[in-house]
Structure formats: C-alpha cells, structure tokens
Amino acid sequence: MPELPEVESTRRHLLETLTGARLEAVWIGHPRTGRRNQRPSDVVERLTGRRVERLGRRGKFLMADVEDDLTWVIHLGMSGRIALHGPADPVTAHTHFRATTDAGIEMRFIDPRTFGFVAVFTPEELSDDPLSRLGRDALEDLPTTAEFSTWLDSRTAPIKALLLDQRFVAGLGNIYADEILHLAGVHPRRPGGSLRLDEIERLRSAVPLVLEAGVAMGGTSLDDLAYLLPDGRAGDYLDRLMVYGNEGEPCEKCGNVIERMVVAQRSSHFCSRCQV
DNA sequence: AACGATCCCTGTTGGC
DNA sequence: TGCCAACAGGGATCGT
C-alpha cells in the first residue's frame, strides 16, 4: 500500500513533468476524490490555467505549491496511484482525476477504493484541515532519539500503533512499520513507554534504513492492481520484505517462523525470537 | 488526553 | 462450480 517510499518514488517520477508546468484541462470524475474541498469543483477551478511551482511531500501526502498561494494535495489512500499518459491513451477503470500540462502530458489519478483524494487548499483552508497537524517527515525531518523518548514516555499504546500515528512521525504505514520493528528487534505489541533508550535508538535508526531502501527500489508493489510507478512499472521492494506478508515462512535473520497477530486493528508480522 | 473502535470502499480470496 | 462473507488498510471521527 502506498506509504512514504511509494509516495516519494511517485514524486520523483513526477518532478520533471510537473515542476513549472501549467495545467490546462483539469477533470475530476468522482465526488469522493474531491471531498476534501468544500466544493469538489474547486479542484478544477483552482488548478485550471495555473502553474505548478514546486512538488513536495510530507509523510504520505504529495503537496505541490501552485500559483497564487494555493496548495495542491494528493493522497494515494490505500489503492491510489498516479499515471502519466498522452491525452489520447485509453482511460482505465477507476480514473477519477485528470490534468493535462502545457507540454501535452496527462496526469491521471487512479483509485479503485476511493480512500485517496485530490484537493486544492487556500492557506486558511490548509490551516483548518487535519493535515496541518501532520507530524515530522520520517525521511527528511526524523526526530532525534531524545525526542522519540519524550514522546514515548509513559505511553501505554502498543509501539506499532504509535508508529502508525501520523501526528508525531509522518510516513510510516503497516508494511514499513512491521519492517522497521523487525530490524530494530522490538515486538509490535510492546507498550510505547516500556522501550529502553537503547531500543528507542535502534528503532529510530531503523527508520531511515528501511525507508531509504524502499525508495531506492521504487517502493513495494504487492500486486498489479495497487501501487505502481507513474510509468506503470512495479516497485521492487516486495522481494526485500523480511516480515510483512511472510507469515509461516522462516525469519531471514534467525530461521524462526514469522507470526502474524492483530495490533491496532492492523495485521502485524513479526519474529518472536528476534523481536522481544 | 490517550486510546481503542468504527467507518469509508471495492477487488480479491477462501470457505462451504 | 458458484456464491458470499471475510479481508485488505490510511485517516477521520467518535465514545470511553
């Protein structure tokens, strides 16, 4: 599912096409895709004719600066992906947003489960939106071990749930949280406040190791229907996963069988020998 | 305040 | 073989 490495891989592939491009024909075809704007038609009205100044990312949100202080925000949700096409290419199912650049390239947002969205915010709207409370980016702005320690202090929620909470560190999802906990040797159900300083340090240092490897491989494509790069290719990190989706298989570190349990309403994959 | 539960949605999977 | 319930999950929201 799209997490930070998938969103960052998508951003890097879009940079050349979108940076400095003027958007011409803009279309939104599903009410849920534009639901974060009070009026979904604002997405079309605000983007049409305007130039994209810069394409950034915070956590799992693509955030582009657009002329006149607007912020164009795209979230891939669970099943969203972006594809670049020529305007005459056949439109595939679940295409809910299209925008043509002045160079004649069409960007499409494809999202079968409609958990994702496309929105355009004014500065005032952005400060009112929950995404203004997003935490620090897990790749570009990772908190220090001391800051992690303060945040975890006396917390009773399982560490897995806390890693998925986007309000402190933004960008981790179910797959990479499992991988990070495995690399750090921490059990997903450990209460956040129970982690010793050396464990917090291992956890914190595992974050960039896992995420940067994910970005280098173009992200994780679980199957052909979910995340793909904008040119339609699959990301290659699937083969590198140590625990996610490996239930019943031997741990590559110790040979113990990988187990699965539900933590924070999400399936968690872990090695009970490596992770304590 | 912190935490857990629920809901949104649809393609795929697994059980009977 | 065919049908249908269960499952997948990011984030907003709500109840305790």
pLDDT tens for residues A87-106? Answer: 899 999 999 999 999 999 99
In this structure, is the CB of residue A4 within 7 Å of any atom belonging to strand C?
no
**What's the pLDDT tens digit per position in A235-268?**
999 999 999 999 999 999 999 999 999 999 999 9
- Helix orientation angle between A145-152 and A197-216, rounded to the nearest 10 degrees: 120
In this structure, is the CB of residue A3 within 7 Å of any atom belonging to strand C?
yes
Helix (H, G, I), strand (E, B) or coil at A11: helix
Residue A261: what pLDDT? 93
Pairing mode of beta strands A23-28, A52-58: unpaired
Residue A131: what pLDDT? 87
**Look-up of token digits 């079968």:** A112
In this structure, is the CB of residue A168 within 7 Å of any atom belonging to strand C?
no
Catalytic entry in A50, A58, A60, A202:
A60
CB A270 within 8 A of CB A188: yes
Question: What pTM was computed for the model?
Answer: 0.96
Summarize the confidence of residues A117-122 as an average pLDDT.
96
Residue A61 pairs with which residues in a beta bridge? A58, A75
Between the alpha carbon of residue A26 and those of residues A23, A42, A48, A106, A111, the distances in Å are 7, 11, 6, 9, 17
Helix (H, G, I), strand (E, B) or coil at A147: helix
Residue A14: what pLDDT? 97
**What's the pLDDT tens digit per position in A169-182?**
999 999 999 999 99
Residue A75: what pLDDT? 96
**What's the pLDDT tens digit per position in A194-232?**
999 999 999 999 999 999 999 999 999 987 567 999 999
Burial A177-196 (b: 16+ CB within 10 A, else e): bbbbbbbbbbbbbbebeebe
Calculate the average pLDDT of chain A: 95
Rounded to whole angstroms, how far apart are CA atoms A181 and A195? 12
Amino acid identity for residue A240 in this structure: R
| CA atom of A153 to C1′ atom of B3, Å | 15
Does A158 have pLDDT greater than 90? yes
pLDDT-derived band at A82, boundaries 50, 70, 90: very high
pLDDT-derived band at A117, boundaries 50, 70, 90: very high
Summarize the confidence of residues A114-140 as an average pLDDT.
94
Summarize the confidence of residues A121-148 as an average pLDDT.
94
In this structure, is the CB of residue A208 within 7 Å of any atom belonging to strand B?
no
Residue A38: what pLDDT? 86
Helix, strand and coil percent figures for chain A, each rounded to 5? 30, 25, 45
Residues 110-129 in A having a C-beta less than 7 A from any atom of strand C are 113, 115, 129
